[in-house]
Amino acid sequence: MVSVAQEEIDSNEKVALTGSLPDFSQYDIVFLVYPVWWGTIPNAVRTVLQSDDLSRIALYTLITHGGSGAGNSVEDIKAICKAEVSDMALEVFDDDVTDAASEVADWLYKIQKER
């Protein structure tokens, strides 16, 4: 899995999704939750971001990782879609995911206050 993901990322392969996507035009705010893979977003997430015109959307990123933090993922998202990508990214270490509910709630509260 790790090497397949690296090949996908290195070759910029467009990965097909197995499910259907929502109609993003129905939303003003989107929370994008993804794991960092090789310092960036998984290619399937890239497919999601390129599937629609996200230019009217405020995008908040919740990022799980195994120690590197967000890596280049937020910059990469900004480069590939037109959403207004917030700098208030939340990074959660993978071992802490199951205990992160209050951290996520605090993050959502801060976002609500900011808006």
Ligand X SMILES: Cc1cc2nc3c(=O)[nH]c(=O)nc-3n(C[C@H](O)[C@H](O)[C@H](O)COP(=O)(O)O)c2cc1C
Residue 104 CB partners (closer than 8 Å, separation 6+): 62, 90, 92
72 binds ligand X (CB under 6 A): no
Residue among 37 and 107 whose Cβ is closer to ligand X:
37
Residue among 19 and 114 whose Cβ is closer to ligand X:
19
We find the least distance from the C-beta atom of residue 115 to ligand X, in angstroms, to be 27
Interface with ligand X (CB under 6 A), residue from 25, 50, 66, 75: 66
99 binds ligand X (CB under 6 A): no
DSSP track, 21-55 = PP-GGG-SEEEEEEE-BTTB--HHHHHHHTSS--T
Q: What is the CA radius of gyration of the chain?
A: 14
94 binds ligand X (CB under 6 A): yes
Position of tokens 């208030």? 88
Interatomic CA distance for residues 115 and 56, integer angstroms: 15
* Options 15-23, 30-38, 48-56, 99-107: segment touching ligand X (CB under 6 A): 30-38
Q: Point out which residues bind ligand X (CB under 6 A).
A: 1-2, 5, 35-39, 64-68, 71, 94
